[in-house]
Amino acid sequence: MSADTTDGELLARIGRGDEEAFTLLWRRLSGPVLALGRRMLGDDAAAEDVAQDTFATIWRAAATFDPERGAPLAWVFTIARNAARDTARRRRLTVVGEPPELADDADGPSEIVAIESERFHVHAAVASLAPRAREVIELAYYGGLTQVEIAARIDVPLGTVKTRTRNALALLARSLDRVEVR
Q: Is residue 30 in some structural domain?
A: yes
Quote the number of domains for the chain.
Answer: 2
Query: What is residue 181's predicted lDDT score, i.e. its pLDDT?
Result: 47
Does this model's pTM top 0.85? My answer is no
**Same domain, yes or no, for 88 and 145?**
no
Give the per-residue pLDDT at 153. 92
The answer to whether position 112 is within a domain reads no
87 within some domain: yes
Residue 6 lies in a domain: yes
Among 59, 123, 60, 48, residue whose Cα is nearest residue 87: 48
Structural domain includes residue 22: yes
CB 65 within 8 A of CB 11: yes
- What's the pLDDT at 33? 93
Q: Which residues of 87-103 are buried (b: 16+ CB within 10 A; e: fewer)?
A: bbeeeeeeeeeeeeeee
Are 134 and 88 contained in the same domain? no
CATH number of the domain to which 170 belongs: 1.10.10.10
Digit-coded pLDDT (tens) for 66-97: 888 888 989 999 999 999 888 888 876 444 45
Does 116 map to a domain? no
Based on the fold, state whether residues 86 and 133 are members of the same structural domain: no
In this structure, is residue 115 part of a structural domain? no
- Low-confidence stretches of the chain (pLDDT < 70) are 1-3, 92-105, 179-182
Same domain, 78 and 150: no
State residue 108's pLDDT score.
73
Question: Tell me, what CATH number does 38's domain have?
Answer: 1.10.1740.10
In the prediction, which pLDDT does 93 show? 43
Task: Give CA–CA dist 76/55, Å, rounded.
Answer: 9
Single residue among 76, 92, 108 that ends a domain in this structure: 92
Give the structural domain span for 166.
129-182
- 75 and 134 belong to one structural domain: no
How far apart are the C-alpha atoms of 179 and 182, rounded to whole Å? 9
Q: Is residue 122 in a domain?
A: no
